């Protein structure tokens, strides 16, 4: 077993993830084709291609594959792949794509517009068919070249795509029109193919523009980083490129300037706007020893910061990487779209063939006359059947379906990043809408995580409050417990006297003991007092119980086994915790608190926060078991913790929400990281997740309804009753707008109120 585990660890070490930027994709079917192709490469464990983002995330075994193999595979499929996600390069590629589509659109518009009056109205125009041929041919084979390239690439890989549908449909219309040019048939449809290709290019052009807006979040984050920095080298200040900063450089940040990279303040005092990092609008005070983060804005004084993290190690870079990975990941709900897209195009081609064959047979056999009024029997039977088939081919497009999920995920994760809510993957974003119970860790999550002295009570006339605090602080000074820090800080604030301690000893779970002068001093809980041989009077016991009922931890100070004072410490509730709990309850969620505190203290804190469900006296190692018990009731559970002590519980939960900070954002155990460490952001994350899934479902609905209604209409199912045959031109326009409408609907997520 040990050998197998070692082998498994070895395999894990060989696994590598790489981001690819893909160009040349025209529709969701392209993404499916590339996904299948990459998945077949030996050594590839996982491949996910995001059509909306133009990226691929591939996990592979380095011993069996490499980056060159992956890019070569993409190239063999007819597309171009480059290693890494470079926002600047991606921006240039998108600009080039939009420019190319714009050029094609202009050419297509200039050439196809004249074909409409020539093809439909000016029947007696001299050399009409020749002019139509001259206008339509460049559109068919130059403007529409990419459709042929895509169709050929798909055919080589034994599949079909949207390019296949457009290429088949427009080519059929063009060839039939060519036959008319040479006098073999009477009807021509040059204007149909030309206008159709131009409309599809228009749709692609609009789609490219709005898709760019969906991925704005990462570009905006990257643009936050300053391009240059002032550093001190050789005793002189000099301006260098931010990319040239090295570890240990002292950076000079003047008022209004952005901090170039992460580090520690070595001199100066100022306030810094960290909203880009945490979403928090209130500036944070910075002084010597404070942590500073790249791309945050210095507001007032001059700061001298020692560079301690550069490049990919900075907080901003980690945020960008998390958002990139989330946007490139695949949500479980996407599987439905994948399954439909995989069989969609072949089914559409089959329906188009059946539409052509069925109508041609019905019309030529005379059967159609039995259910179609004589006035509606078309004069040109072959043309009628051909138009129905072409309309089916062009109206059915898997693009809208393929864009439904990734565009919403991109906008949702981008909005979350701007608000300081980082989703590590699409599955986490989707998981938020399934949550039915939220479990909060107490310390550092609902509370400040920094205990403070709240009460000092003298139990002996020989020891006043100042003396009690002085003795307690003196003996606790050697302890590393958080409560000890609180007592020492309080003593310093009150200028209390610290006395020398001998024979110091910490007793885990009890307290501390030692000698001050010739007196034996003990300080700790009731267990400590009892083990030291002391006992509390009824009045003192009552005071201690009253303190604990307020959510305070009280400790007894004993001098020579005699209780002389009580010191109460409390980890105060965060101001926003009650609001956070109230917001979650409004969302219809159960709220629980889990803590290692005794029941009385736990109940007091929970009451202040507005929580009725309390799990007290739970050891850190048992928190995961408590989460599992809630799950066994059929509840989908979100665990909210600090990401360190609560790691097992965060991992056990259906959704792990880690409280983060600017200095450590990539907390491994959580699915969601709250940069501000604000409990209110838990409800915001869930609201954002619900809104995103709602948009995805809306997109699915409209994409599917469009095809469910559009394909039968295009196949002329309603013709016997209405006499209306859907023009392929109208079908093409509807197809183009369907994709744009899905992306635009996803973009409305940006105005979601959290």
pLDDT in tens, 221-272: 666 778 888 999 888 889 998 888 888 899 999 888 989 999 999 999 888 8
**483 lies in the same domain as 600:** no
Show which residues are catalytic.
441
Beta strands in 281-400 (DSSP E): 284-286, 291-292, 297-298, 303-309
- pTM equals 0.71
**C-alpha distance across the termini of the chain, in Å:** 49
Distance CA 390, CA 386 (A): 6
Q: Where are the alpha helices (DSSP H) in 82-159?
A: 87-112, 115-120, 128-138, 145-156
**C-alpha angle with apex 137: 133 to 139, nearest 5 degrees?**
130
User: Given the DSSP bridges, would you call strands 291-292 and 502-507 parallel, antiparallel or unpaired?
Assistant: unpaired
Residue 31: per-residue pLDDT = 79
SS3 of residue 185 by DSSP: coil
Report the alpha-carbon distance of residue 39 to residue 47 in Å, rounded: 6
- Residues 77 and 107 occupy one common structural domain: no
- Is the separation of the CB atoms in 383 and 175 below 8 Å? no
Q: What is the pLDDT of residue 281?
A: 58
Query: Is the same domain home to 54 and 114?
Result: no
Query: How far is the CA of 373 from the CAs of 91, 377, 386, 544, 719, in angstroms?
Result: 57, 7, 21, 96, 10
Domain shared by 687 and 669, yes or no = yes
Helix axes 381-395 and 162-181, enclosed angle (nearest 10): 160
Sequence-ordered strand ranges (E) for 136-248: 228-233, 236-241
Q: Which long-range contacts (CB under 8 A, 24 or more apart) does 660-663 make?
A: 660/422, 662/274, 662/277, 662/278, 662/291, 662/293, 662/315, 663/262, 663/291, 663/293, 663/315
Task: Map residue 600 onto helix, strand or coil.
Answer: helix
Of 297, 325, 353, which residue constitutes the final position of a domain? 325
Report the 10 Å Cβ neighbour count for 530.
Answer: 13
Q: Give residue 302's Cα distance to chain centre.
A: 36
| Cβ atoms of 160 and 218 closer than 8 Å | no
The answer to whether residue 200 sits within a structural domain is: yes
Helix (H, G, I), strand (E, B) or coil at 619: coil
> In angstroms, rounded to a whole number, what is the distance separating the alpha carbons of residues 590 and 240?
54
Which of 550, 570, 590 lies at the terminal end of a domain, its last residue? 570
Return the pLDDT at 435: 93
- Looking at the domain assignment, is residue 750 inside a domain? no
User: What are 453's strand-pairing partners?
Assistant: 569
Q: What is the DSSP string of 677-707?
A: --THHHHHHHHHHHHHHHHHHHHHHHHHHHH
Q: Which two tokens stand for residue 390?
A: 């072409």
Task: Give pLDDT, residue 277.
Answer: 66
Domain boundary among the residues 67, 85, 103 is at 85
> How many residues belong to the chain?
754
Total structural domains within the chain: 5
**CA separation for the pair 349, 94 (Å, rounded):** 31
Tell me if 354 is assigned to some domain: no
CB of 277 within 8 A of CB of 297? no
> Per-block average pLDDT, block size 10, for the chain (754 residues)?
41 71 76 84 86 80 86 86 72 81 92 85 82 92 88 76 78 83 77 82 78 63 79 88 88 90 91 72 81 86 90 75 68 72 79 89 84 78 83 76 80 84 84 92 82 88 90 86 83 89 81 88 83 78 83 85 88 88 94 84 88 85 87 92 74 86 50 85 93 90 82 86 78 75 85 83
CATH code for the domain of 8: 3.30.70.100
User: What SS3 class is residue 260?
Assistant: coil
Q: For residue 378, is it within any domain?
A: no
Report yes or no on 221 lying in a domain: no
Q: What angle do CA 278, 435, 631 make, to 5 degrees?
A: 125
590 and 566 together in one domain? no
**Is residue 158 in some structural domain?**
yes
The predicted structure's pLDDT at residue 644? 57
442 in the same domain as 578:
yes
pLDDT at residue 662, rounded to an integer = 35
Q: Is residue 356 in a domain? A: no
Q: What is the extent of the structural domain holding 543?
A: 452-570
Q: In the prediction, which pLDDT does 6 show?
A: 41
653 and 589 fall within a common domain: yes
Q: Shortest CA distance to 661 belongs to which of 648, 639, 646, 644? A: 644
Q: Is 672 inside a domain boundary?
A: yes
Q: Are strands 613-615 and 590-594 parallel, antiparallel or unpaired?
A: parallel
Q: Given its phi and psi angles, is residue 45 left (phi above 0), alpha (psi -120 to 50 degrees) or beta? A: alpha
CATH number at residue 256: 2.70.150.10
Query: Same domain for 657 and 599?
Result: yes
Same domain membership, residue 431 and residue 317: no
- For the domain that residue 538 is a member of, what is the CATH number? 3.40.1110.10
pLDDT score for 218: 62
Question: Does residue 687 share a domain with residue 626?
Answer: yes
Beta sheet of 228-233, edge-to-edge order: 236-241, 228-233, 250-253, 303-309, 262-268, 291-292
Q: Based on the domain organization, do 546 and 618 belong to the same domain?
A: no
Environment class of 332 (CB within 10 Å of its CB; exposed 0-12, middle 13-18, buried 19+): exposed
Domain check: are 127 and 64 in the same one?
A: no
Residue 206: Cβ-neighbour burial (10 angstroms; 0-12, 13-18, 19+)? buried
Q: Which helix (H) or strand (E) holds 455?
A: strand 452-458
């Amino acid at each position: 077993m040990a050998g197998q585990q070692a082998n498994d660890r070895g395999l894990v070490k060989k696994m590598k993830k790489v981001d690819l930027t893909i160009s040349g994709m025209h529709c969701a079917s392209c993404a499916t084709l590339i996904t299948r192709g990459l998945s077949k490469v030996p050594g590839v464990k996982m491949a996910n291609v995001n059509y909306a983002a133009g990226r691929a995330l591939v996990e592979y075994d380095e011993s069996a594959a490499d980056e060159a193999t992956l890019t070569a595979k993409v190239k063999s499929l007819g597309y171009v792949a480059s290693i890494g996600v470079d926002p600047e390069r991606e921006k240039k590629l998108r600009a080039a794509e939009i420019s190319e589509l714009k050029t094609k659109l202009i050419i297509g518009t200039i050439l196809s517009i004249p074909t409409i009056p020539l093809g439909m109205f000016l029947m007696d125009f001299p050399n009409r068919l020749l002019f139509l041929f001259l206008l339509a041919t460049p559109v068919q084979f130059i403007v529409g070249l990419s459709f042929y390239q895509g169709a050929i690439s798909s055919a080589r890989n034994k599949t079909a795509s949207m390019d296949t549908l457009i290429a088949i449909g427009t080519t059929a219309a063009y060839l039939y029109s060519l036959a008319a040019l040479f006098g073999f048939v009477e009807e021509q449809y040059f204007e149909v193919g030309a206008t159709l290709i131009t409309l599809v290019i228009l749709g692609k052009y609009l789609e490219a523009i709005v898709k760019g807006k969906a991925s704005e979040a990462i570009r905006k984050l990257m643009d936050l980083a300053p391009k240059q920095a002032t550093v001190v080298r050789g005793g002189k200040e000099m301006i260098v490129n931010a990319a040239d900063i090295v570890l240990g450089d002292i950076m000079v940040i003047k008022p209004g300037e952005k901090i170039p990279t992460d580090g520690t303040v070595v001199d100066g005092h100022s306030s810094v706007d960290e909203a880009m990092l945490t979403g928090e609008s209130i500036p944070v005070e910075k002084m010597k020893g404070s942590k500073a983060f790249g791309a945050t804005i210095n507001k007032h004084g001059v700061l001298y910061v020692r560079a301690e993290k550069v490049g990919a190690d900075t907080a901003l870079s980690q945020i960008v990487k998390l958002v990139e990975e989330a946007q490139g990941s695949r949500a479980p709900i996407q599987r439905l779209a994948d399954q439909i897209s995989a069989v969609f195009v072949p089914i559409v081609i089959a329906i188009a063939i059946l539409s052509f064959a069925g109508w041609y047979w019905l019309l030529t056999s005379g059967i159609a006359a039995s259910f179609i009024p004589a006035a509606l029997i078309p004069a040109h039977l072959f043309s009628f059947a051909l138009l129905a088939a072409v309309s089916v081919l062009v109206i059915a497009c898997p693009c809208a379906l393929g864009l439904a999920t990734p565009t919403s995920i991109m906008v949702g994760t981008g909005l979350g990043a701007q608000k300081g809510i980082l989703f590590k993957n699409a599955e986490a974003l989707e998981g938020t809408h399934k949550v039915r119970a939220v479990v909060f860790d107490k310390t550092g999550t609902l509370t400040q995580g920094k205990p403070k002295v709240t009460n000092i009570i003298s139990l002996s006339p020989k020891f006043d409050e100042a003396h009690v605090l002085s003795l307690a602080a003196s003996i606790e000074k050697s302890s590393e417990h958080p409560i000890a820090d609180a007592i020492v800080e309080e003593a310093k604030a009150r200028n209390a006297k610290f006395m020398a301690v001998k024979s110091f000893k910490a007793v885990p779970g009890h307290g501390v003991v030692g000698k001050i002068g010739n007196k034996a001093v003990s300080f700790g809980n009731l267990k400590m007092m009892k083990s030291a041989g002391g006992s509390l009077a009824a009045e003192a016991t009552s005071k201690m119980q009253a303190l604990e009922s307020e959510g305070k931890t009280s400790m007894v100070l004993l001098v020579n086994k005699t209780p002389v004072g009580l010191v109460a410490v409390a980890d105060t509730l965060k101001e926003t915790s009650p609001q956070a709990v109230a917001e979650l309850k409004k969302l219809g969620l159960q709220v629980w608190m889990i803590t290692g505190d005794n029941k009385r203290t736990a109940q007091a804190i929970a009451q202040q926060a507005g929580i009725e469900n309390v799990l007290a006296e739970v050891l850190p190692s048992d928190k995961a078991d408590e989460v599992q018990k809630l799950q066994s009731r059929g509840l989908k559970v979100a665990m909210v913790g600090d990401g360190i002590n609560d790691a097992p519980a965060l991992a056990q939960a259906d959704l792990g929400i880690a409280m983060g900070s600017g200095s450590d954002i990539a907390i491994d155990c959580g699915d969601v990281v709250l940069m501000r460490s604000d409990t209110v952001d838990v409800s915001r994350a869930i609201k954002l997740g619900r809104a995103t899934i709602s948009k995805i479902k809306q997109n699915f609905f409209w994409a599917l309804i469009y095809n469910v209604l559009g394909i039968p209409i295009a196949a002329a199912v309603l013709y016997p009753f209405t006499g209306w045959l859907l023009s392929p031109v109208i079908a093409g326009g509807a197809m183009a707008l369907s994709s744009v409408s899905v992306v635009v609907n996803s973009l409305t997520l940006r105005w979601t109120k959290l």
